[in-house]
Structure 1
């Protein structure tokens, strides 16, 4: 009877291969878990953090403006006690006098005086609230389009060289379409005639969606000019001066290759 010879070297080689395969499998599983956590952080956690922060900022702005309004009301009462009524005795305030009635709204050109009275915001300062009823969206507007200090906080950013709300020219805004609150994720759903409100400490400006450019290059600066008109797709945009609103975001979703643009025109303004 022959006794089988055990090849120790072959056994050790098989054990080494098994350990390598096991270690490789562990590494792949670990990498998969890390990637899943990163995706969850980007797609869920950053959205949650940014939305909560943006909501708190909206509430803070509303409280601040309410306090300012109460303070101005107190001053108005004191001034009224001293004979601050209208000269004709009608008691009409500045808003109704400007509009010729008691509606409190003004035409686009008349809004410039109210807009010009608003101090220029500091860099990265949140100073307005953007409301889009169709999208159930209400977010802060901050000066500048810095990712770290504005966009990644779930805010909408104002292009610094463009007009302010209610002013002649183009009030141009940028916002994330995905992650970090993604306020502009669904602006592709906006249709002509939809209302967009921009609220500041002094007034509420209502813009009306007019046109959409579904895709243009990321470097198409023409879409945010004073008279917005695409330099890439020249058939899109305007030729005449006006009171414009521009919303820009990345497209397609989860990329930054192109830009999606929505344009609106100022329809009305009412003082706060």
Structure 2
């Protein structure tokens, strides 16, 4: 009987070990499924939601502007208006400044988190709202591009500086690294369409490189990149490499033309 008891104890011990291994495998499998769901939510669902929301906002802005133009009536514009014009010299006597307070025409300054313009980049097939501020909850995570407070407004002398996600939440700047010198970038507001042309790219710099968004943009980390004279600049910034926020990619452009709406 003693041998039988030993065998029974051995079988019970092995059964306990098997149950522990099985329970551990179930926990690992459950955690794996949860992680996969989180990744799917972050990489797919947030993108879908943000992209759809951003597209709706673009259409809403376009309908709003079209309605305002129709309400103004026809025949009010004098002969010769509505055509494309060049860029005034930096410092010319217009109503725009590089301090961030200047703005195009008689447009009121945007409220915080307000979407007030549309950024279009033909090479990337991109049309996305521009909102005031670079907060995640109110702007970037909605799939919008955010305007750095304190920088110039569209068409203003100085630096119209923008930020956008490269991955997740609509990822409007995912392919920003594909832009090349000479590519067009358009910014549409209720008053005008501003066409910038890509001029230079800073492939990688630190997140704290504030010089890239100054009125005369110039990297404080890599001083060989940037400018030395006032002009009408555009700056686009995003994280790099993809799926990290370790560095920043910066694309600069200059204003080529302005077309009143």
The answer, yes or no, to whether TM exceeds 0.5 is yes
Counterpart check, 1:105 vs 2:85: yes
Summarize the alignment of residues 54-69 of structure 1 with structure 2, pairs less than 5 Å apart: 54-69=54-69
Structure 2 equivalent of residue 82 of structure 1: none
Tell me by how many angstroms 1:40 deviates: 0.6
Deviations along 1:66-122, whole A, 9 cap, x unmatched? Answer: 011111126x66xxxxxxx9xxxxx525x36xxxxxx33232447954714111000
Tell me by how many angstroms 1:4 deviates: 5.1
Query: Aligned partners of 2:94, 2:5: CA distance in 1, in Å?
Result: 95
Query: Aligned partners of 1:130, 1:104: CA distance in 2, in Å?
Result: 18
Q: Quick check: 57-66 or 115-124, which moved more?
A: 115-124
Counterpart check, 1:190 vs 2:179: yes
Does the CA-based 8 Å contact 2:105-2:191 persist in structure 1? Answer: no
Instruction: Give 1:255's match in structure 2, choosing from 221, 234, 244.
Output: 244
Query: Aligned partners of 2:124, 2:56: CA distance in 1, in Å?
Result: 19
Query: Aligned partners of 1:104, 1:255: CA distance in 2, in Å?
Result: 40
Q: 1:111 to 1:158 in 2, by over 3 A?
A: farther
Query: Aligned partners of 1:129, 1:111: CA distance in 2, in Å?
Result: 26
SS in 2 for 1:64: helix
Deviations along 1:44-67, whole A, 9 cap, x unmatched? Answer: 111100000000000000000001
Structure 2 equivalent of residue 36 of structure 1: 36
Query: Aligned partners of 1:152, 1:194: CA distance in 2, in Å?
Result: 26
Does the CA-based 8 Å contact 1:112-1:168 persist in structure 2? Answer: no
Does the CA-based 8 Å contact 2:158-2:233 persist in structure 1? Answer: yes
Instruction: Give 1:210's match in structure 2, choosing from 199, 203, 207.
Output: 199
Q: Quick check: 160-169 or 113-122, which moved more?
A: 113-122
Give TM-score scaled by structure 1 length.
Answer: 0.88
Deviations along 1:235-261, whole A, 9 cap, x unmatched? Answer: 000000000000000001000000000
Counterpart check, 1:124 vs 2:104: no
Give TM-score scaled by structure 2 length.
Answer: 0.91
Greater share of residues in helix:
1
Alignment length, in residue pairs?
Answer: 251
Does the CA-based 8 Å contact 2:130-2:145 persist in structure 1? Answer: yes
Does the CA-based 8 Å contact 1:108-1:267 persist in structure 2? Answer: no
Query: Aligned partners of 2:142, 2:33: CA distance in 1, in Å?
Result: 26
SS in 2 for 1:5: helix
- Runs of 4+ aligned residues of structure 1 deviating over 4 Å after TM superposition are 109-114
Say what the alpha-carbon RMSD is for the aligned residues. 1.9
Query: Aligned partners of 2:2, 2:137: CA distance in 1, in Å?
Result: 74
SS in 1 for 2:217: coil
Tell me by how many angstroms 1:12 deviates: 1.9
Query: Aligned partners of 2:192, 2:124: CA distance in 1, in Å?
Result: 22
Counterpart check, 1:92 vs 2:91: no
Query: Aligned partners of 2:2, 2:13: CA distance in 1, in Å?
Result: 22
Deviations along 1:172-200, whole A, 9 cap, x unmatched? Answer: 00000000000001010000000000000
